[in-house]
Amino acid sequence: MNTLEIARELQAIAQTGLHFAENPYDRERYERVGKLAAELLASHSNLAPRTIYDWNAAEFGYATPKVDVRAFVLRDGKVLLLRENADAGKWTLPGGWADVNETPAESVVREVREESGYEVEPRRLLAVLDRERQGHSPPFPYHVYKLFFHCEIVGGAPAASAESSESRFFDRGALPELSTSRVLPTQIERFFDAVTQGTQRTEYD
């Protein structure tokens, strides 16, 4: 287990402990664990420990991973990618955080609409992946599960958004520079294979 994994686990222990603890001395100890976890997490990012601690303090209940949803959309054998405003103009599959009171499928439909202008329908779940075990960079202070859906366009038209400056379809062998925080070239390759070859297995872990 590396330092970042230890810090995440300490933060989860602190959050869960504060949710269940009734003894004021136990709460004080869990608060201290949370502050130590924030210090460790800050050492792996450009954020201040206080910022991370405040984020974590806003969470409540039993600590669980966050959920990121992404859409793999093909048209004429080409994949839909967006140019990210937040990552130096690099490209990614449309998607983002799942919202409360939305199913994962509803979240991915909303994300595609907001970021690209296209209306899509999810066809199947391609993968449920642990972000850190895939090699995404930079590391996040949160533990994240990434859900990738194969979606088909059913309407809409391309449009820029506050999060992306343009959308475009790319051939498999001519992908642009990707935002590896969001998607990896190897993942896109595997999704091409799964969709074009009709593989029904959902990838996981």
For tokens 């269940």, name the residue: 20
pLDDT score at 173? 95
Report angle CA 163, 168, 171 to the nearest 5 degrees.
135
Domain span at residue 171? 66-204
* pLDDT tens column, 5-60: 888 888 889 888 887 888 888 889 988 998 888 888 888 877 788 887 777 777 76
Is residue 52 located within the same domain as residue 88?
no
Provide the pLDDT for residue 49: 83
In which residue ranges of the chain is pLDDT below 70?
A: 60
Q: Do 84 and 116 fall into the same domain?
A: yes
For residues 99 and 47, state if they share a domain: no
- pLDDT at residue 46 in the model: 76
What's the pLDDT at 202?
96
Give yes or no: residues 116 and 19 share one domain: no
Task: Specify the pLDDT at position 102.
Answer: 94
Cα gap 138→57, rounded to integer Å: 23
**106 and 154 in a common domain:** yes
User: pLDDT value at position 37?
Assistant: 86
Which of 58, 85, 103 is the last residue in one of the domains? 58
Helices (H) and strands (E) in the chain, counts: 6, 8
Residue recorded with tokens 């300490």: 10
96 and 163 fall within a common domain: yes
**Angle between helix 49-58 and 24-42 (nearest 10):** 130
| Residue 140: per-residue pLDDT | 83
CATH of the domain at 83: 3.90.79.10
The pLDDT of residue 169 is 98
Please tell me the total count of domains within the chain: 2
Alpha-carbon Rg for the chain in angstroms: 19
